[in-house]
Each structure stands twice: as C-alpha cells, then as structure tokens.
Amino acid sequence: MKKLHNIFQYALAGFLLLFALSATAQQQFIVEGKIEFERKTNQHAFLDENNMWDEMAKKDLPKFVTYYQDLYFKGNRTLYRVGREPDQVQRKSWSVLDPDEIIASNLDSGSAISQKSFFMDTYLISDSIRKIDWKISPEIRKIAGFDCRKATGKVLDSIVVIAFYTDEIVTSGGPESFTGLPGMILGIAIPRMHTTWYATKLELMPVKESDLAPPRKGKKYKGPEFRHDLHDLLKNWGDEAQKMVWQLEL
C-alpha cells in the first residue's frame, strides 16, 4: 500500500510539473507592436466654479475632451505620437493642449527626444528619461484585454500618478514619458490634471525602423534648458499657465 501511495505522489508531482510547464509555454510575451491610447480630460474641472465666465463656458463646452495617441514599441525602444482623429470635433478650453507631441525613447540608454509645439513654435528637446519611484500594489484592473497591476508614483515634485501595467508586454514603456515599471503601462490617471490615458487596443505588427525614428523638427533644447525657459515665459500668467506647464513637461 505504501509503495502505491509513493507511486501516486510521484505521478501527481509529474502531472503538476507538466501542467506548469505547459502554462508557461502558453503565456504570451509580447516584444513589439502598436498600442492605441485614449486621452480623456475633464475640462470642466479646469474651470473656476466662482468665476461667472467659467460657469458660462461650462454650458458651452463638453465636459470631456478626448484624443487618441499611438505608442509603437520594439524591444527597448518606443515612439509615442498623435493617433486617429476623434469621432466628433470637440470644442475645448484654451488650457487643454492638443496632443501633438512626438516622444522617442531608448529605455536602455535612458534617453529621449521629444518634439513639442507651443505658441506657434516647435521645440526639439533632448533629455534623460524621467525616473519615478513607483510603489506597486496588489490591485488588478483589466485594460485592453490584459490584467494590469496598479502602481503609484509622483512626477514634477508633487503630482500623484496612478499607473496600471502588464508584464505580458515586455517593453517597460508607456504613454507620454511614463516608464520604469516591469512591463508596459496601459493605464495612467493624474487626478490633479483631471486626465487619464487608457489603452483601447493592441495591434500585433512588425515595427519598422521608420516607425521608431526620432523627430527632427524644431528649435533644439536640452531638457533642463527647456523647462527653465518655459517657466520663465509663463511665470506671470497665473494658475492657468501652470496647467499648461504640467502638460508640456509630461
């Protein structure tokens, strides 16, 4: 009887090992493709409740402004740029910037080149990738068909960022300039900016060099120089300008 019991234990252990190996083999690890992100901003939240003109604007402007952006990724490189047009033309407050930036990131070297437009000028900015001290939690959310784990961090000294990432996509990138988690970021929420970015779909496709080519147009700046000049330009514009600064620095 004892011998049969041992045989049964060995057989069960072997079955469990084969099952684990099979599950591992079937797990999907994605290294290249294109992700569409939906950026949604609550522009009513930007308007002052105690301002008569802002209250009038709320009646004329839709509550949410939606844009689409695409993230191409392959291995350690990503390129983030404007995507398809929204289904309807949206009227928006002047303080909600159009997502016309292009951001090319090299995750191995920790460097990025971004192209941003502001006040009819275009800037080409070379910078290091922002380092964020992420704190990962056990919460899981389903985004674009992937189970994504929650992480929380801060940018620009005090702005809280809530992220959701999946380790099924190996590249540790994300929308805008958000990186640094053990997998691809598919969701971002910034309560202070009343804005979210969520992946709507993943397209599995070969990514060409041209898809990842860094932008080349604009007045050349180093990151610290651009941020200094931006703050100097907008320092007398009050709280409304600060909202634009945050958008331009992401």
Tens-place pLDDT, residues 152-167: 999 988 999 999 999 9
Q: What is the pLDDT of residue 50?
A: 67
Please determine, for residue 5, whether its predicted confidence score (pLDDT) is greater than 50. no
Could you tell me if residue 74 is inside a domain? yes
Could you tell me if residue 13 is inside a domain? no
Q: Which residue would you say has higher pLDDT here, 218 or 49?
A: 218
Could you tell me if residue 14 is inside a domain? no
Q: Count H helices, E strands: the chain?
A: 4, 12
Q: What is the pLDDT of residue 18?
A: 41
Could you tell me if residue 196 is inside a domain? yes
> Which of the 8 DSSP states describes residue 210?
G
Could you tell me if residue 159 is inside a domain? yes
Q: How many separate domains does the chain show?
A: 1
Strand 121-128 vs strand 219-222: parallel, antiparallel, or unpaired? parallel
Question: Contact 70/83 with Cβ under 8 angstroms?
Answer: yes
Could you tell me if residue 11 is inside a domain? no
Helix (H) or strand (E) holding 127: strand 121-128
Could you tell me if residue 111 is inside a domain? yes
Residue 108 domain boundaries: 32-249
Q: What is the pLDDT of residue 27?
A: 54
Q: Which residues contact 151 (CB under 8 A, 6 or more apart)?
A: 134, 135, 136, 137, 162, 163, 164, 165, 181
Q: Rounded to an integer, what distance in angstroms lies between the CA atom of residue 196 and that of residue 167?
A: 21
CATH of the domain at 186: 2.50.20
Q: Which residue would you say has higher pLDDT here, 250 or 135?
A: 135
| Residue pLDDT, tens place only, 207-244 | 999 999 999 999 999 999 999 998 888 887 776 677 78
Query: Residue 115's beta-bridge partner residues?
Result: 102, 124
Q: What is the pLDDT of residue 188?
A: 98
Q: Rounded to an integer, what distance in angstroms lies between the CA atom of residue 194 and that of residue 238?
A: 19
